[in-house]
Amino acid sequence: MDETPPPDPGGHPGEVFGAFFRQGLTAFGGPAAQAAAFRREFVERRGWLGEAAFADLFAMAQVLPGPSSNALGMAIGLRRAGPIGLIAAALGFALPAGAAMVGLAYLLPNLDVGWGDGVLHGLKLAAAALVAQAVVAMARPLADDPIRAGIAIGAAAGLYVAHGPVAQILALGAGAVFGLAFLRPPSPATPDDPAPRGLPAEAGMAALALFVLILGVLPFLAGLLDQPLLGLASVAYRSGALAFGDGQALLPLFHGEVVLRGWMERDALVAGYGAMNALPGPSLSFAGFVGASQMVADGGWVAGVVALAAAFAPSLLLVAGVAPFWDRLKLRPATRGAVAGVNAVAVGLLAAALWSPALTAAIERPSDWLLAIGAFVFLAVARLPAWLVVVAFAVAMGAFHPTVVGT
């Protein structure tokens, strides 16, 4: 007997914020696990929407940049409580992990030299294994046929040779063109729930226009005014706008933007990525660590908040912009093909990042290869939770670092 409560489209923003704040504290395991947790909470337990509507919103979230669970949460908030509900869902889900990652930016530089070096090494080894696991997991649904596999391999080879944001944008554009020409995935189902609270078409067009305007104007303003926070916001916004592939592409995107410009050390970036995977909530919280790390000595928490807001803004604007038109867009084969091509490029983008920066930062001695492989086995074969593997490697490497053992 089906005990799922009937869908209830009414709600208020405070209710949405509280529900997603709870998810931000408890939803471990990355976007796929978080989407499953959303289904249990909002379909089965709370009855905010039905199975078909959830599947429809999940399909929309898959085609948008950034972690799919982040966009899915915003879409549920929009459906439940309108535009303010969308913002409430984003804030509630992001707040716990965002605050933790900003705090980590202050903590890492102040760790004891020996123990701290070991912890950083453990975080980097775990991060390399996490990237390898993500490549395997993403390749199965996003590059499982000859055309998409070819797009992914070509993107990985090209991005191995050419680094930086321009190369990544060109690769994503090429993936969209190939997908448009050669790929035609099936369309998602149509929901049968009552009409949700959403946005009119005019508001959706305005949100899409604002998304494009910020993407184009913010880098120009940052260069013209030579203002560090604007430059940081520009990088975080662009990374959030281009992070296809469930947000795992944030590592190579931020590496191309902040490490290659000399704004941040590669090892700190990879260590922060590893730590992010030990936390619940959205992977976009990584932006808070990147922002705060660059300005710890000069109001780092402000930079962390700016980076978080800028990284989340693309998903917020795209959910608001696409939702009014989704019923029509999802039926167009060209739309689905272009998105499938971009997602295949995201697999290649992450595969290139597996070597640099993940492995090049983590492998310091030959024995590190065995440790990295062991971490991968724990994740992909034993299926231990990511947070457990990250914490275990950080603590173990901190305890057994040569400087600590020798004291």
pLDDT in tens, the chain (407 residues): 344 555 555 678 899 999 999 999 887 766 766 877 888 889 888 889 887 788 788 778 877 877 778 899 999 999 999 999 999 999 999 999 999 999 888 887 776 555 667 888 888 898 888 888 878 877 887 788 899 999 999 999 988 887 766 777 788 889 889 988 898 777 665 665 655 667 888 999 999 999 999 998 998 888 888 888 888 899 899 888 887 655 667 788 888 788 877 788 888 888 888 888 778 888 889 999 998 887 655 557 888 999 999 999 999 999 999 998 887 887 788 877 887 888 788 788 778 878 878 888 889 889 999 999 999 999 889 988 888 888 899 889 888 765 544 44
Q: Where are the beta strands (DSSP E) in 192-249?
A: none
Phi-psi sector, 284: left (phi>0), alpha (psi -120 to 50), beta: alpha
Calpha distance 317→75 (Å, rounded)? 11
pLDDT at 164: 65
**Residue that is written with structure tokens 């690769």 in the block:** 171
Name residues whose C-beta falls within 8 Å of residue 330's C-beta, 6 or more positions apart in sequence.
56, 59, 60, 187, 188, 336
How far, in Å, are 109, 283, 303, 376 from residue 297 at the CA level? Answer: 11, 25, 11, 36
Calpha distance 217→227 (Å, rounded)? 14
Write the single-letter amino acid at 289: F
pLDDT at 77: 95
Task: Identify the CA nearest to 312 among candidates 102, 104, 98.
Answer: 98
Phi, psi of 54 (to 5 degrees): -60, -45
